[in-house]
Chains A and B, each alone.
Chain A
Amino acid sequence: MTLAAITIAISSGCTTIPDRAIPAPQVVQQSSIKIHNTMQVDRFNTPWQASPPRRGSGTGFVIAGKRILTNAHVVSNSRFLEVQKNGDPRRYLARVRFTAHDCDLAILDVDDPDFFDNVPPVTFTDALPALGDTVTAIGFPLGGDRVSITRGVVSRIDHNTYAHSAIDQHLVLQVDAAINPGNSGGPVVFNGQVVGVAFQGLSAGDNIGYAIPVPVIRHFLKDIEDGRYDGYPEIGIDYLELRNPAMRTSLGVPDGETGVVISRIDPFGSAQGHLEPGDVLLGIDGYDIAEDGTIRLDGNPVAFTEIFERRQSGDTLDMRIFRAGQVQQLKVTLANPSDPFVFRNLYDIQPEYAICGGLVFAPLNREILKTISTGFSSVNDQRLIYLSNYGKIDGHHRDHDAFVILITRLPHPVNTYAESFINGLVVDVNGTPIRRMQDLVDAFKTAPNGFHVIRFAGMTDPLILDAGVLEAVQDDILAQYGVPTPFNINTGEPE
C-alpha cells in the first residue's frame, strides 16, 4: 500500500448514497454534526500567497463537555467554520479549539449555547471491537445534508500511516463499511457506542475504510485536559532485533534475557541522554521485550513501541537495559520536543521565507518537497530528498537548526545567473554560517567588498550578487512581483 493510495474523506460535492440505512442508536445520529469549512491552503513555492479559498464539508459528533470531535483534516487551514445539526437548517459559527495533526483529530467549540440543546454527547467503548464485529458509520458523505448510515464489519486492527500528516503511524480500525468523502470525522458505532472516527479510505481496494480507534481518541482527549495539545511523545530510537546469536554473544547478553539493540538515538527524541547505541532494551514498565521486539499486551503480541503510543508527554517509563555487562534500570521521561527535521505535511502555518535580490529562501519542509516536480534528477533536488531522509542520521542537524534552501527566484537582471542554484542548501552567506532563517537575513546586512557571496552545500561555485545593485532593486522586485513583505520568519514553526 502506498501513501498516495490513501484518500482522506472530506467532501466538496453532492451525490446520493446507494446504501440502505441501518438504524443506529438514535443518540448517535442526533449527536452527528455536519461541518462546513472554508479553507485556504498556503503556497509554499510563493510563500507570501495562499491558494483561492475553497469549501468542503465533513462530519463531527458531540462529546462530553459540549465539544465537537472531528478529524483535523476536516478543519485544517480553516478561514470560516460552521456546524449544522442533522435535520436543522440553521448553521452555527464554530472555532477550532485543539488540533492534533499527528493523529488527525480536532475539537471544535460552538459559542452559541443553544447549539447543544437536545444534542446528547456520545459515549465511547472501553475496548477495541473484535474482528468481524458489525459496526455502523454515520456521516454526511458526498455533501448530503441528511445523515447517512452505512454498515460493515471490522476487518483488521493494525498500525497504519495516517495520511493527514503522511508520516505518523498509529492504530487503525479497518472496516468494510462504505466511507466516502464527507464521512471524515463521523462516528463509527458498535452496540450504541463509538468505537472510532472515520478518517480515510484506500482507493486501491474495494470497500476498505479506516477509522481512528478509541485508544487514539482517548490519548488525544487526555492530552488536551491541561488546555494544550502536546502531541504523541517521541522516544526517538532505531533498533535491531536481537535475534542473531552472534550479536547476543558480541554484546554479552546473558542467557535468558531478550530484547532489542539500540542502533541510533534521535537527537530530538526522549531517549536522548538516557539510552545509548549498543544498549539492549530488555523491558519497559515491567513488560519483557522478546527477541523480535514484541511484548505481550492484553494477551496479544504487539510491537514494544505500542507502550509509547499509550503514554503522554511528561510520563516517565521504567526501562530495563543491558549495558556494559550489567542489567540496569533507567527512568526515561517522555517528551515531544519541537523537531525541525521532521517532514510532516504542514497545516495552519504561514510559511517562512526571506527574499534578497529576488532570491526566495525558505526552510526545507515537506510542502516544499511537494512543489518539486522534476523527478529529483538534479543534485540539488536529490540533496533535499537525502536531507529529509538522512539529515539527522548522517549528522547534518549539527550544522543547522533548519535546512535553509533557495526555493526559487523572482527573475530580475540582478539574479539572472542564479537558476542553477535553486533548491541548493545554503551553507554560508558572506562567510556567516547559516543555521536558521534569521542568520540569512542578518548575513545580508553586510557585503564585504561590495559583493554578497552565497555558498551552497556540495558546490565549489559560489553565487555572487552585486550588493549595491541588490540594495537598489530590492523594492522594485517586491513591487514587480506583488510581494507584500520581504521576510516572514518564525511566525509559524512546524509542529
Chain B
Amino acid sequence: MRTAVLSSLRLALTLLVIVPFRLAAESEKPVVEVLVSFQEYDTNVPWQRDATKDRRGFGLMLNESVIITTESLIRNQTLIEIRRPRSGRKETARLIQADPQIDLALLALDTATRIPVASLPSSTAPEATTTTASILQITASGEPQEGNGRIVQWKVDELPNAPYAVLLGSILTDLNIDGAGAPVYIDDRLAGITLSYHGGSRTALMLPAMFLQQFIDDVQSPPYRGFASAGIAWQPLIDDTKRAYFGVPATEPGGIQVLGVLPGTNGENPLQPNDIILEINGTAIDAQGFYNDPVCGRLAFPHMIKGNHRPGDHLQVKRIRDRQVATDTVVLRRFNDADLLIPENPEGLPEPYLVDGGLVIRELTGRMIKAPGKQWTLRTNPRLAHLYLARQTDVQKPGERVVILSSVLADPINIGYQHLRDEVIETVNGTPVANLHNVLAAVDREGGIHRLGLRGSGVEIALAPGALDEANQRIATQYRIPQLRREPSPPATAEPANMTARPDAPVPADK
C-alpha cells in the first residue's frame, strides 16, 4: 500500500514538472467564486457575535441562477456573493439548503425571480484510484485556472469541518487550491468538488459527485430528507478471543461490534451494544467494517448506507447476540445532532441561553467545550470535559441535556455567587431540570430563578425574587445584553431511554 502511494506521488511530481498550469481560454466548466461574509457566535458570550470575517471559495453553476458549493464555506453567512470569471461583478445569492452532514449547500442568485430546476452536469461515479483528474478554480484576479490531479485513495472518513463520516477521495494535485468547492473533472465529466486542501502534502479531499446529485434531487423534492445514517457507534472485531467470547463461529471471518445506538431510535433500531453485525442486506461486512463495493471496491460499510439508502429505508441486519444468529430490520433515519446529550453544533448555530439575576445558564455543547482550542482538555473544567468525552456511552433520555451555570455576571443581586462557573445545574426552584426548556418553564411559571441546585452541592443558591426584574434590567444595560434569553429548539418527545452515540464514527481498530 505504501509503495503504491509513493509511486503515485512520484507520478504526480513528474506531472508537476512537465505539465504547466493552463488557463482555460473559455470556461466551459461553469465555476464561480463564492464570497462569503460571516459572523460566528461568541462561544463564551452567547448573545454576542464575533466581528465579521470573510471566506472565499468556489461553486458550480448548475444553471443560470443555482450554485452548489460546500456548507462549511457559507457557514454563519451574513452575505453571499457570486463572481463569475473575468467579470469582477458581484451578484448576491441566497441560501436554499445546506447540510453539514454532507458539507453541501445550494444557493440561488437573488436576481432569479423563480428558481429553475437544477441538475448536475454529466458526472462520474467514484472509481478506482490513480485516475487522472483536472481541478478548476478561479485566481484572485478572476481568471479560470485548471490543474491536474490524481485520485490516490477513496476512503470513508470524517468530513474536514464536521464530525460525520462520508466517502471522500484524496487527490494529489499540482494546483494550489485556494478555497473549498472547486469542481473536479475526469474526462470532462464532473467527479466531485473539493472540501479542503493541504498545501504541505498537496492533497485535496473531494466529495464525490454522487452525493451532489442526491443532494440536489433531495432539495428539489421537498421536504428535505437528508442522508441516512446507520445510527450506531461501532468498532472492528479483530480479536480472536473476543470473537470466541461473543460466539462468532470460527468459520465466520467477518463481523463488527456495536458499541451503541443513536438516541431517539430505540423503537426503530433494535440493535444493542455488543451485537456483532455480520451482514447488511445480504452483503458481508468484514472484521474491519469493510464491504466490497461494486464500484469502488473495498469500502467502510457506512458508505453502503449513506451512498445507497435514504432515511426511512429498511435494512436487514444479520447479527449475533448472546451467541445466537438472527436478522433484525433496522429503519434508517437521518442523524440529528440535537438528539445528543451534548450536541456538537459543528455549524455554530446560535445556542440557547438564559440570563436571570446575572446567572448565565446554557446547555453544554461540543462547540462550547472546545472553545479553548487544541489544548481544551487541559483548560476545560474536568467534569464537563469528562461528560463530553464519555457521552457516547452515557444513558440518556430523549431531550436530555447537560444544563450548566456557565458564569455569573457580577451584580448586587448575586453577591456571594460570583466565583461560580461551569457548574452543572440539577434543580431550578426545587424542580429537577433536564434541559433549558425545563429551566425556562420554571422561570416563566414562577417569575424567575429563586433557587438553583448545583451538582455536588448540598445547598441551593438563592436570589431575591422581588429584586429580579430590576436586576435583570440593570444587568442587560450594564453588560449590553440585547435579549436575556434565546429559546432552544423544541424538545424531543420520545420516551424510552437509550444509548447516545455518534453514528458511523469508527473507533481505533486496536480495541
Please report A residues at the B interface, Cβ cutoff 8 Å. 238, 240-247, 249-250, 261-265, 276-278, 375-379, 381-383, 385-386, 388-390, 393-394, 416-417, 419-421, 449, 451, 453, 458-462, 464-466, 469
Contact = CB atoms under 8 A, between A and B. Distances in A.
Contacts of A244: 414-417, 461-463
Q: Sorted from nearest, which 7 A-B pairs have the closest CB atoms?
A: A277-B458, A386-B386, A243-B416, A460-B273, A244-B416, A250-B462, A379-B389
B462 A264 contact: no
Contacts of A242: 416
A223 B390 CA distance: 44
A212 B450 CA distance: 46
B241 A249 contact: no
Contacts of B257: 461
A265 B458 contact: yes
Contact of A420 (B274, B456, B462, B508): B508
Nearest to A277: B458
Interface string B384-416: 011001100110000000000000000001111
Contact of B274 (A376, A377, A461, A466): A461
Contacts of A278: 458-459
Interface string B356-387: 00000000000000000001011000110110
Contact of A453 (B245, B377, B382, B464): B245
A246 to B, nearest CB: 4
A390 B464 contact: no
A416 B459 contact: no
Contacts of B417: 240, 244
Contact of A394 (B244, B273, B455, B510): B455
A379 B386 CA distance: 7
Most A Cβ at <10 Å: residue of B274, B375, B389, B508: B389
A119 to B, nearest CB: 49
B456 A264 contact: yes
B462 A249 contact: yes
A262 B458 contact: yes
Contact of B416 (A241, A381, A388): A241
A246 B414 CA distance: 9
Contacts of B459: 240, 261-263, 277-278
A238 B507 CA distance: 40
Contact of A375 (B241, B378, B467): B378
Contact of B462 (A247, A263, A416, A460): A247
A124 to B, nearest CB: 37
A420 B238 CA distance: 13
A375 B507 CA distance: 19
B375 A375 contact: yes
A372 B416 CA distance: 37
B458 A264 contact: yes
Most A Cβ at <10 Å: residue of B259, B260, B385, B508: B385
26 contacts: A238-B457, A240-B417, A240-B459, A240-B461, A244-B461, A246-B462, A261-B459, A263-B457, A264-B457, A375-B375, A375-B377, A379-B386, A379-B390, A382-B385, A385-B386, A386-B383, A388-B382, A389-B382, A393-B456, A394-B456, A419-B510, A421-B511, A460-B259, A460-B273, A460-B393, A464-B241
A246 B463 contact: yes
Contacts of B462: 244, 246-247, 249-250
In this complex, the interface size class of chain B, counting residues with CB under 8 Å from chain A, is: 35 or more
A246 B464 contact: yes
A381 B245 CA distance: 27
Given A420-B510, A459-B393, A460-B260, 8 more contacts: A244-B416, A245-B464, A247-B416, A379-B390, A382-B377, A394-B455, A417-B511, A460-B274
Contact of A263 (B235, B241, B377, B458): B458
A420 B259 CA distance: 14
B507 A420 contact: yes
A459 B450 CA distance: 38
B110 interface: no
Contacts of B389: 378-379, 382-383
Given A264-B457, A417-B242, A461-B235, A250 B451 contact: yes
Interface string B205-219: 000000000000000
Contacts of B394: 458
Nearest to B243: A464
A402 B231 CA distance: 37
Contacts of A394: 383, 455-456
B446 to A, nearest CB: 14
Contacts of A469: 241
A421 B242 CA distance: 14
B328 interface: no
A242 B383 CA distance: 26
A273 to B, nearest CB: 14
Interface in B469-511: 499, 507-508, 510-511
B42 interface: no
Nearest to B384: A386
B448 to A, nearest CB: 11
A168 B68 CA distance: 61
B460 interface: yes
Contact of B511 (A263, A420, A465): A420
A278 to B, nearest CB: 5
A246 B448 CA distance: 14
B293 interface: no
B239 interface: yes
A390 B457 CA distance: 12
A262 B510 CA distance: 47
A461 B393 CA distance: 10
Interface string B255-278: 001011000000000000110000
Contacts of B511: 417, 419-421, 461
A308 B301 CA distance: 63
A365 B133 CA distance: 56
A449 B377 CA distance: 40
Contacts of A421: 511
A261 B454 CA distance: 14
B461 A247 contact: yes
B268 to A, nearest CB: 20
B382 to A, nearest CB: 5
Given A244-B415, A247-B462, A390-B382, A377 B377 contact: yes
Nearest to B457: A263
B393 to A, nearest CB: 5
Contacts of A245: 464
B460 A250 contact: yes
Contacts of B382: 382, 385-386, 388-390
A416 B510 CA distance: 8
Interface in B108-141: none
A289 to B, nearest CB: 14
A277 B451 CA distance: 15
Nearest to B456: A393
A137 B463 CA distance: 52
Contacts of A377: 377
A242 to B, nearest CB: 7
A240 B420 CA distance: 10
B432 to A, nearest CB: 16
Contacts of A388: 382
A277 B508 CA distance: 44
Contacts of A416: 239
A190 B226 CA distance: 79
Contacts of A263: 457-459
A159 B42 CA distance: 37
B182 to A, nearest CB: 33
A278 B462 CA distance: 12
Contacts of B242: 417, 464
A466 B240 CA distance: 10
Nearest to B455: A394
A453 B393 CA distance: 18
Contact of A376 (B378, B451, B508): B378
